[in-house]
Amino acid sequence: MWCGSACSPRSTSSSERDPVKKIRLSGYAVMLLTLSVVGTLYTAVAAPTSAVEEPAAEEPAATKEELVQEGRDLYLSGCSTCHGLDLAGGSGGPSLIGVGASSVIFQVESGRMPLAAGVQQAPRKQVRYTLEEIDALAEYIQSNGGGPTVPEGDLNDGDLQLGGALFRTNCASCHNFAGSGGALTYGKYAPELEPASARVIYTAMQSGPESMPRYGDNQLSVEEKKAITRFVTYITSAEDIGGASLGRYGPLTEGLVIWVVGISVLILMTLWIGARS
């Protein structure tokens, strides 16, 4: 039975299909563009933490007597103005007799000495001396009254788990659980522990600079101090698996970023796609 063109199925013209196709394509384009922008921003802020380079251990090129003489020359030219020609101290600085090599290594290798004028607390600065010169200074100070010295061997071979427990018990109240430092009384502060070499971390516990207590071998054994040294080196140099460290405060900041940043981006994407449709 022939019924003419009235019975033939209605064909959908390309002009009617184009709006739907364009809406779908624009939605895909919006999603790809948004993901690209978010990925680019994440890559920009998620710079990995650089590892702390340990100073290379080198064989001493001079005898002990030569080191002491070199250290004395360095002391007279760079330290005697404040600490006195005979290490007995004065109005500008304390006596260095009996402080030991560890105190010199901490203060000089971290750049705190020579001290900048007019500061409440010695800050970390650019190091003025080479490692060989620091060792010579330390040998000279050690030869005048003795004192704590750095033990032989690797300072980073301690028990990591034990170091974490000891750090949380003895150090986190001032330096924060992540080693990021904090404020103290009378305008002083506990410094951030990054960057710091293993020698600086270990000798800080031995010498007790500023408001920090001094931990002798009766308070913390050599192995316990090595454990803390390894833990601090680990938390300040370990790569953050997720990219940005987010302060290393744990789930608190991670959850905050997920809700504030992640959910906000999803809501904006949804609203924009809806407006374009």
pLDDT per position as a tens digit, 89-132: 887 889 999 999 999 999 999 989 988 776 778 888 889 999 99
Q: What is the CATH T-level fold of the domain 56-149, as seen in this structure?
A: Cytochrome Bc1 Complex; Chain D, domain 2 (1.10.760)
| Contacts for 160 with CB less than 8 Å, ≥ 6 apart | 227, 230, 231, 234
Q: In the chain, what are the domain boundaries?
A: 56-149, 153-238, 249-277
Of 33-37, 43-47, 143-147, 209-213, where does mean pLDDT reach its minimum?
Answer: 43-47
For residues 113 and 98, give the distance between their C-alpha atoms in angstroms, rounded to a whole number.
Answer: 18
Asked if 56-149 and 153-238 have one fold, the answer is: yes
Query: Which CATH superfamily hosts domain 153-238?
Result: Cytochrome c-like domain (1.10.760.10)
Q: pLDDT digit string (tens) for 54-75?
A: 555 555 457 889 999 999 999 9
Q: State pTM to two decimals.
A: 0.67
Return the pLDDT at 50.
Answer: 45
Residue 57 corresponds to which amino acid? A
3-class DSSP state of 131? helix
In this structure, are residues 71 and 144 in contact, taking their beta carbons and an 8 Å threshold? no
